[in-house]
């Protein structure tokens, strides 16, 4: 189940009526008729709909925020920030409009053509894994080059309003372990082992001195690629709703979460792209990415209904077990 490919998606359980999309398009783009709409699969939290408006040469993306309405404004601010990256901008869809319709917050963004890196990696389409993953590492280094006054979570204007300290990671993980869903899914034995693991490596959590821009869901499902002049190139980094200020190791952890299911070149080329672009990895970085992944997976499991999301729960359980096994051997 590599790269969350079989996880249940938002559009599996939340369907918008065709007239709702029409009304949204009319609010955001008055005077233009909606010619077509196409739901794009893949989002675990939000809905993404490709729309074509009368008179426009290029399609647009209508993005509906189901969980966090302020995420629309954060994504707009992030896109503006990354557009100014020098010497080469980070490829991010620009947010053109943000509107409300009934109980929905939605945005109209640029539509970037291509397929997800996940789809490419899992396909039979010929591609050079090393070349693509080196690009991924280089782009992550450009993202991490953006610094903020403090580590923490953003408001809609990218001001850090809730600062992060090292104890927050351990505290959040321990709270997740007390969640009923987590308790039932993992069982007492696994939870006991996770508690021991977290206590053992708590001193390795990011110190709070790292104040880099973190995507927070940086994996192949959120990276678009397209074949340009016979080479696969990255054309877009999507879904910035969870972004915050902190350690780039969080994004490295996300990208390497399924490394045990990939070839060695996947990880090595990614790391080469990072280090050749100025990212220095600490001595115990492999342990740090494992504990960061563990904290993230536990958090995700608290929001995973086992009846509605059995594949997602099963994958999180397996990933958590693998991490515990690796760390127990350190």
Q: Is residue 321 very low, low, confident or very high in pLDDT (cuts 50, 70, 90)?
A: very high
Confidence at residue 86, expressed as pLDDT on a 0 to 100 scale: 66
Confidence at residue 45, expressed as pLDDT on a 0 to 100 scale: 74
Q: Is residue 221 very low, low, confident or very high in pLDDT (cuts 50, 70, 90)?
A: very high
| 114 pLDDT more than 60 | yes
Confidence at residue 92, expressed as pLDDT on a 0 to 100 scale: 95
Q: Is 184 exposed, middle or buried (0-12, 13-18, 19+ CB in 10 A)?
A: exposed
Question: Which helix or strand (DSSP H or E) is residue 99 part of?
Answer: strand 95-101
Question: Could you report the per-residue pLDDT of 294-309, keeping only the tens digit for each?
Answer: 999 999 999 999 999 9
- All structural domains of the chain, each given as residue ranges with its CATH number in brackets, are 2-110 (3.30.200.20), 115-328 (3.90.1200.10)
**pTM of the prediction?**
0.94
Q: What is the C-alpha separation between 251 and 304, in angstroms, rounded?
A: 22
Question: Could you report the per-residue pLDDT of 118-138, keeping only the tens digit for each?
Answer: 999 999 999 999 999 999 999
Question: Could you report the per-residue pLDDT of 187-203, keeping only the tens digit for each?
Answer: 999 999 999 999 999 99
Listed residue (71, 111, 74) closest to 224, CA to CA: 111
Q: Is there a contact between 169 and 295 (Cβ–Cβ < 8 Å)?
A: yes
Q: Is residue 12 very low, low, confident or very high in pLDDT (cuts 50, 70, 90)?
A: low
| 289 pLDDT more than 70 | yes
Q: Is there a contact between 75 and 46 (Cβ–Cβ < 8 Å)?
A: no
Q: What is the C-alpha separation between 20 and 283, in angstroms, rounded?
A: 52
Question: Could you report the per-residue pLDDT of 230-268, keeping only the tens digit for each?
Answer: 899 999 999 999 999 999 999 999 999 999 999 999 999
User: Rounded mean pLDDT of the chain?
Assistant: 93
| 1 pLDDT more than 60 | no
Q: Is 313 exposed, middle or buried (0-12, 13-18, 19+ CB in 10 A)?
A: buried
Q: What is the C-alpha separation between 161 and 150, in angstroms, rounded?
A: 9
Q: Is residue 25 very low, low, confident or very high in pLDDT (cuts 50, 70, 90)?
A: very high
> Residue 185 has which token pair?
């899914």
The DSSP code sequence of 148-188 is: -SSSEEE-TTS-EEEE--HHHHHHHHHHHHTSHHHHHHHHH
Q: Is there a contact between 295 and 182 (Cβ–Cβ < 8 Å)?
A: no
| 157 pLDDT more than 70 | yes
Share of the chain above pLDDT 70, in %: 97
Confidence at residue 50, expressed as pLDDT on a 0 to 100 scale: 96
Question: Could you report the per-residue pLDDT of 47-101, keeping only the tens digit for each?
Answer: 999 999 999 999 999 999 998 999 999 999 999 999 887 677 899 999 999 999 9
| 223 pLDDT more than 80 | yes
Q: Is there a contact between 153 and 208 (Cβ–Cβ < 8 Å)?
A: no
Confidence at residue 11, expressed as pLDDT on a 0 to 100 scale: 60
Mean pLDDT for 314-326 is 95
Q: Is residue 43 very low, low, confident or very high in pLDDT (cuts 50, 70, 90)?
A: low
| 150 pLDDT more than 80 | yes
Mean pLDDT for 1-22 is 82
């Amino acid at each position: 189940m590599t790269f969350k490919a079989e996880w249940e998606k938002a559009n599996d359980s939340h369907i918008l009526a065709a007239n709702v999309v029409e009304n949204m398009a009319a609010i955001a783009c008055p005077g233009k008729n909606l010619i077509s709409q196409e739901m794009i699969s893949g989002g675990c939290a939000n809905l993404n709909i490709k729309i074509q408006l009368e008179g426009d040469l290029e399609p647009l993306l209508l993005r509906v925020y189901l969980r966090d309405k302020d995420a629309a404004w954060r994504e707009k601010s992030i896109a503006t920030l990354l557009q100014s990256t020098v010497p080469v901008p980070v490829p991010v869809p620009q947010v053109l409009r943000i509107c409300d319709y009934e109980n929905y917050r939605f945005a109209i963004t640029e539509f970037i053509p291509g397929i997800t890196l996940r789809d490419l990696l899992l396909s039979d389409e010929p591609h050079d894994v090393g070349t693509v993953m080196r690009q991924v590492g280089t782009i992550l280094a450009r993202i991490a080059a953006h610094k903020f006054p403090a580590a923490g979570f953003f408001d809609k204007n990218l001001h850090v309003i809730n600062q992060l300290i090292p104890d927050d990671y351990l505290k959040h993980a321990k709270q997740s372990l007390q969640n009923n869903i987590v308790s039932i899914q993992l069982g007492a034995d696994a939870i006991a082992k996770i508690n021991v693991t977290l206590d053992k490596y708590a001193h390795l959590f990011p110190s709070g001195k790292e104040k880099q821009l973190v995507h927070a869901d940086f994996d192949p499902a959120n990276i678009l690629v397209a074949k340009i002049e016979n080479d696969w190139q990255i054309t877009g980094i999507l879904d910035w709703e969870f972004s915050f200020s902190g350690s780039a190791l969080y994004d490295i952890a996300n990208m390497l979460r399924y490394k045990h299911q990939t070839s060695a070149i996947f990880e090595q080329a990614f790391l080469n792209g990072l280090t050749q672009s100025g990212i220095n990895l600490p001595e115990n970085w492999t342990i740090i990415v494992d504990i960061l992944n563990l904290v993230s997976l536990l958090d995700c499991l608290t929001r995973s209904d086992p009846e509605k999301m059995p594949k997602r729960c099963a994958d999180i359980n397996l990933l958590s077990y693998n991490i515990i096994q690796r760390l127990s051997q350190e």
